[in-house]
Amino acid sequence: MTLILGIESSCDETAAAVVRDGRTILSNVVASQIDLHAPYGGVFPEVASRAHVEVIGAVVHQAMDEAGLTYADLDAVAVTRGPGLAGSLLVGVNYAKGLAFASGLPLVGVNHLEGHIYSLWLTEAADKLAFPLVCLIVSGGHTELVLVRDHGRYEHLGGTQDDAAGEAFDKVARLLHLGYPGGPAIQKAAAGGNAKAHPFAKARTDAPYDFSFSGLKTAVLRAATVQPRPGQPRQRGEESEAPLKPDLRVADVAASFQRAVVMALVDKTLQAAREFGATAILLAGGVSANKALREEMGKASPLPVYTPPLHLCTDNAAMIAAAGTQRFLQGQRDGLDMDVQPMWPIISLEAMGG
Ligand code: KG4
Ligand code: ZN
C-alpha cells in the first residue's frame, strides 16, 4: 500500500489530499480563492500567493485529519513544482520541503499537467484505461494535447499559441459583462442561445495540433461591442469596458463563441487520436467541466471519452498525489534544493533521468 500526501498551490486553489495507491481518495481539501480574484476578472498573482500562505497549514492539517493519518503513516509528500505562478508555487513547494525535512518523508515534485492527466486514475474509468491515450488538458492556464504512451511517458503534441481555452472563456465573459470565472458564466448564458448566429471563423495555426483563441476573442469583441468610428481611437480603458451593442443577444454570442472553441478542441483531439492509434480520449482541466465540450466530444468520437467528475476537473491535490504516486513508485526522489518551475513543460520520466 502506498499513501501519498499531495499539495497543490500553482494558481488560485490551495489544496491538499491523501491518496492510497494512486487510486483511492482518502481526503481532498480545496480552498478556492475565486471570491478574492473576482473583482479583477482573473487571478491576481500577489493576492494569490498571500492567500496561499494564510491557509496552507490549515488545509494540509485538515487533509491529514480527514484521512485519519499521521505523517508516520505516509510514504511521501508530492507537491506541484510547476508550471504555474512562481509566487504561488513557492508556497506549496516550501511547505512540502518543510514537512519532508521535519518528518523525514521523501519529497516528490510533480508537474501540474501530469496531475490533470492522473485525475482520470481517481475515477471508475481507471480500470478501463489502456495506452496509448490522447489527453486534452484545458484550463485557465493551459490548452495542451498530450499523447500518453505509458505511465510517465508523454509526447506533447501541441498547445495554444496565445490564450488558453479557459483564459478565452474568462476574457470573453468579461467583455460580455458576464462575470468571473468566465467558463461557467458563458456556459449558462449560452444555454438559451443560437450557436449558429455568429459564424466565427476557425483559427489557422502553424502546427496541426496547436490552438489559437485570441483571434476569436477579437471577433467576439467586434460582434458584440460598439466599435469606435474609423479613425477614432478607442476610449481609454479596457476592451472589456466597451459598451455592448444595444440590440445584442448575449446568449447567441456566448453560444456561438462556445461552439467555436469546442469545435476546435474536438476536431484536433479526434485527429490526434486517429493518427496515434489511441484507445480512448481523456479530458482534463477546468474547461473539461464544460457541458458542450463533453457532449460534442462524446458525440463525435468513435472512441470512449473519459472525463473526471467536476471536483476533479478543476485544480485539486488528489490528482497531484495520484501523479506523485506513479513517480514515487518509479523511484523519483527530489532533494530539499528542488526549485519551482513556472514554465515547466510536461516531460517523460526518462528525460528527467529518473
Ligand atoms: O483547471 P482550473 O481549475 O485551473 C487552472 O489550472 O487554470 O481551470 C479553471 C478554468 C477557468 O478559466 C474557468 O473559466 C474554466 O476553467 N471553466 C470552464 C467551466 N468551468 C470552469 N470553462 C468552460 N466551461 C465550464 N463549465
Ligand atoms: Zn490546472
Q: Are strands 133-138 and 280-284 parallel, antiparallel or unpaired?
A: parallel
**CA Rg value for the chain:** 21
Handedness of CA 36, 42, 46, 52 (dihedral sign): positive
Q: Give per-residue pLDDT as tens, 280-323.
A: 999 999 999 999 999 999 999 999 999 999 999 999 999 999 99
pLDDT of residue 49: 85
**Does the 3-123+312-352 domain belong in CATH 3.20.20.70?**
no
Which of 43, 287, 291, 316 should be mutated for ligand 1, with most atoms under 8 A from CB? 287
Q: Give per-residue pLDDT as tens, 238-266.
A: 566 789 999 999 999 999 999 999 999 99
353, 108 Cβ separation under 8 angstroms: no
25, 122 Cβ separation under 8 angstroms: yes
Q: Give per-residue pLDDT as tens, 69-113.
A: 999 999 999 999 999 999 999 999 999 999 999 999 999 999 999
38 pLDDT more than 90: no
231 pLDDT more than 80: no
Q: Where in the chain is the domain with CATH 3.30.420.40?
A: 3-123+312-352, 130-307
171, 179 Cβ separation under 8 angstroms: no
Q: Whose C-alpha lies nearest to ligand 1, atom 22?
A: 183
Q: Whose C-alpha lies nearest to ligand 1, atom 26?
A: 290
CA of 43 from ligand 1 middle (Å) equals 12
* Alpha carbon distances (Å) from 286 to 183, 232, 289, 336: 9, 39, 6, 31
d(CA 354, CA 347): 11
φ, ψ dihedrals at 341, nearest 5°: -130, 80
71, 16 Cβ separation under 8 angstroms: no
Number of Cβ within 10 Å of residue 13's Cβ equals 22
**Topology of the domain comprising 130-307:** Nucleotidyltransferase; domain 5 (3.30.420)
CA of 68 from ligand 2 middle (Å) equals 27
Which has more confidence, 149 or 13?
A: 149
Spatial strand order of the sheet with 24-32 comes to 24-32, 13-20, 3-8, 76-82, 107-111
Region 16-35: mean pLDDT is 94
42 pLDDT more than 80: no
Region 257-281: mean pLDDT is 98
Q: Give per-residue pLDDT as tens, 117-170.
A: 999 999 999 999 999 999 999 998 899 999 999 999 999 999 999 999 999 999
Cβ of residue 139 lying under 6 Å from some atom of ligand 1? yes
Cβ of residue 287 lying under 6 Å from some atom of ligand 1? yes
Q: How confident is the model at residue 354 (pLDDT cuts 50, 70, 90)?
A: very low
Supply angle C-alpha 84, 85, 87, rounded to 5.
135
Q: How confident is the model at residue 62 (pLDDT cuts 50, 70, 90)?
A: very high
33, 91 Cβ separation under 8 angstroms: no
10, 89 Cβ separation under 8 angstroms: yes
Q: What grid cell was written down for 303?
A: 472512441
pLDDT of residue 259: 97
236 pLDDT more than 60: no
Number of Cβ within 10 Å of residue 199's Cβ equals 11
Q: How confident is the model at residue 353 (pLDDT cuts 50, 70, 90)?
A: low
CA of 299 from ligand 1 middle (Å) equals 22
57 pLDDT more than 80: yes
Atom of ligand 1 nearest to the CA of 140: 7
Query: Which of 5-9, 33-37, 48-52, 208-212 is least confident?
Result: 33-37
Q: Whose C-alpha lies nearest to ligand 1, atom 2?
A: 286
- Pick the closest to residue 216 from 175, 267, 159 (CA basis): 175
